[in-house]
Amino acid sequence: MKNLQRRKQKKLPHQTIMDEQFTLVSFNCEGAVRNKNTIKHIIDDIQPDMLCLQESWLLNVKLPEIEKVDASYIVKGEQGVDIEKALLPGRPSGGLIVMYKKTMANDVHVIKTQHRRVYAVKLDCPNGESTLIVNVYMPCDRFDVHAVNDEFCDALTEVESLVDGCPANRVILCGDWNTSFERNTAQVKYLKQFIRRKKLCITWDHNDACKDFTYVNDSLGHISCIDHLLYQTMFLM
């Protein structure tokens, strides 16, 4: 492993994971269009092979707007709402985007998922190795110590089915899990059980990790660490 870090901007922290072959950034952008300058700054600063965005707040027809951020990247994604079933009084909620370098165009393949809070791609390298990357935007923790949010359970079930059903040499699960491991809620316990079951590691536990907050609410004075990168042991050695 070359480096593992989390860089912090004033309000929108992002996470970076990298080794000698691959660099990935995970970023809850809170509106991909309104924060496209920040996205461009991350690309210029880190030059990631892949950038996973959460809360894009975009419908699929608006994804080409993000292609203008950097012409050297391909943009794929999924809107967070079903416009055929829901009225949109304002901006669309949720939404996931994966950006990757055009030089990887023949190596990255979108994997169809069954949940709008989960977006997945598989990277098939020329050397025969493959990586499953799953980008998530989970529902908020209700701070219930007894019951887990049904939508959280459904989304995590989808993630687990991807891990089980997509053969890959390594796995990276990234995004906004809306779960702080400092809490003792049912949602936290449920996610920890999944991590143990799939034999995943949390990047914050790595020796080179610089753990800090990933969520900031200036008006309420709240900070927390609810965005996580999970990986299988063979990824970071």
130: pLDDT strictly greater than 60: yes
Structural domains present in the chain: 3-232 (3.60.10.10)
Q: For residue 198, give the nearest of 151, 148, 235, 145 by alpha carbon.
A: 235
Q: What is the pLDDT of residue 7?
A: 42
pLDDT digits (tens, 9 = 90+) for 97-121: 999 999 999 999 999 999 999 999 9
**pTM, full prediction:** 0.87
